[in-house]
């Protein structure tokens, strides 16, 4: 009987370890890779957008309205990685009225590019604490 209890305990411990590793791997996939996003954005987006201040060439977009810089996109009030992913995925394949075309990115690429863009967001200055808030 005691052997069964130990076997059950060992099985539960092994299952817990596998679950923890799987959960960690899944959360990493959901977050996106900033480095991969930057590389992809420089390859796929820099011809129209300023992706980074150190990109190797300037955008060559010739339309009437210049596309927003990635830093400006990141600093929009409601910008989030999730909102960027949803926006990019919803773009039409054939753009209308000089709208951006769907970049045809897979789920991981959407997460990566969105993660990179959000790193460009300005940090809000820390406000000094008022004397009343420290009570």
Secondary structure element (H or E) that encloses residue 39, with its range: helix 34-44
| C-beta separation of 49 from 63 below 8 A | no
State how far Cα 79 lies from the chain centre: 11
The residues near 55 (Cβ < 8 Å, ≥ 6 apart) are: 42, 46
Distance from C-alpha of 10 to C-alpha of 39, rounded to nearest angstrom: 44
Q: Give residue 83's Cα distance to chain centre.
A: 10
Q: Please list, in sequence order, all residues whose beta carbon lies within 8 angstroms of the beta carbon of residue 129, skipping any fewer than 6 positions away.
A: none
- Domain boundaries along the sequence of the chain: 1-31, 32-119
pLDDT in tens, the chain (135 residues): 555 554 444 444 445 444 444 444 444 456 899 999 999 999 999 999 999 999 999 998 887 888 999 999 999 999 999 999 999 999 999 988 768 889 999 999 999 999 999 999 998 655 566 666 555
pTM, two decimals, is 0.69
Per-state percent for the chain, helix, strand, coil, to nearest 5: 55, 0, 45
Looking at the domain 32-119, which fold is it?
Cytochrome Bc1 Complex; Chain D, domain 2 (1.10.760)
Cα–Cα distance measured from residue 27 to residue 115, given in angstroms and rounded to the nearest whole number = 13
CA distance 15 to 36: 32
């Amino acid at each position: 009987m005691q052997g069964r209890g130990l076997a059950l305990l060992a099985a539960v411990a092994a299952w817990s370890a596998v679950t923890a590793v799987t959960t960690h791997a899944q959360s990493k996939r959901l977050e996106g890779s900033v480095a991969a996003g930057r590389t992809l954005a420089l390859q796929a987006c820099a011809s129209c957008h300023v992706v980074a201040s150190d990109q190797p060439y300037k955008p060559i977009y010739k339309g009437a309205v210049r596309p927003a810089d990635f830093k400006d996109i990141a600093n929009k009030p409601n910008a989030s990685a999730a909102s960027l992913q949803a926006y990019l995925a919803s773009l039409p394949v054939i753009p209308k009225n000089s709208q951006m075309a769907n970049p045809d990115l897979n789920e991981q690429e959407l997460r990566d590019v969105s993660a990179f863009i959000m790193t460009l967001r300005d940090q809000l200055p820390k406000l000094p604490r008022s004397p009343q808030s420290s009570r």
